[in-house]
Amino acid sequence: MASESNGGVIDATGYIKHHLQNLTYGQHPDGHWGIAHSAEEASAMGFWSINLDSMFWSILLGCIFCLIFWLAARKVTVGGVPGPLQNFCESMVEGVDNIVKESFHGKSDLIGPLALTIAVWVFLMNLMDLVPIDFIPEFAKRVFGIEYFKVVPSTDVNVTMAMSLSVFALMIYYSFKIKGAKGFAAELTMHPFSADNKVVQIILMPINFFLEIVSLISKPISLGLRLFGNLYAGELIFILIALLPAFAQPLLSVPWAIFHILVIVLQAFIFMMLTIVYMNMAFETHDDH
């Protein structure tokens, strides 16, 4: 597997680049739209290109998440003995609900479902990293003729940043809704440094605004890049292990996969937890401090 691509022999560098390349669709330099056949073509497509494999797997896993909880909800019976699926879903809902109650102090019916969706969806995307590195891409190439086909959406920075920017958009929306434009502006200009003297307040406003706006913008960037970086590094290690001789691969891949389960769960939890914290900050007013 590690030595063949397009019927020819490739070196280790080529193998790594091949497995890190997405199936990209966009506009070619000559103006026509289509799928990129190399990393160079994908790069030339620019901002308006789309990674089809990331979109396919993220949407599919989102649908699987919805299907699992829908099936559990259909089988809920009052007074009956719950099955394994119902027990699992109820424990997930209860666990996330307890975390939200402890970490979110505002009033909103959105935060609980949002946290649950993020936790399960990100976990499922991360879980794809445990699929053998050549299994699905090789199947896609042999059956459908698709040369590039990554299967872990959270190793695509476009996916992780899209999720973090969605959380950021909710933060800004609720900051305006709860605090009003005046309250949100005051939060950005009157903290962290404050003074009773009006002249000093005016002098401190640009400094406060600079510090607060940097802190605000860094939240979605760190949220998206943290998830991407951890999963991308994990995927890269699996690729490097696949380059080793066949007898050595199980000796390293199995222990790394076991350890990586912790990373998969932890990164989903961190993304969910930070989302709850950021939303709590958006709902907080100056009077709450």
Which of 108, 166, 226, 280 is an active site residue? 226
Nearest to 235 by CA among 273, 267, 272: 267
- Cα–Cα dist 108/65, whole Å: 23
As a whole number of Å, the CA-based R_g of the chain is 23
CA geometry: angle at 99 spanning 95 and 100, to 5°?
115
Which of 194, 215, 218, 222 is an active site residue? 222
Residue 146 CB neighbours (<10 A): 15
Burial category of 224 from C-beta neighbours within 10 Å (exposed 0-12, middle 13-18, buried 19 and up): buried
Q: Is the CB of residue 14 less than 8 Å from the CB of residue 5?
A: yes
Please say whether the dihedral angle defined by the alpha carbons of residues 99, 102, 103 and 105, taken in this order, is positive or negative.
positive
Which residues pair with residue 61 across a beta bridge?
none
Nearest to 153 by CA among 53, 23, 37: 53
**SS3 for 34?**
strand
Instruction: Tell me if residue 74 is catalytic.
Output: no
Per residue, the 3-state secondary structure of 11-30, as one string, reads CHHHHHHHHCCCCEEEECCC
Which of 58, 164, 230, 253 is an active site residue? 230
Instruction: Tell me if residue 222 is catalytic.
Output: yes
Residues marked active site are found at: 222, 226, 230
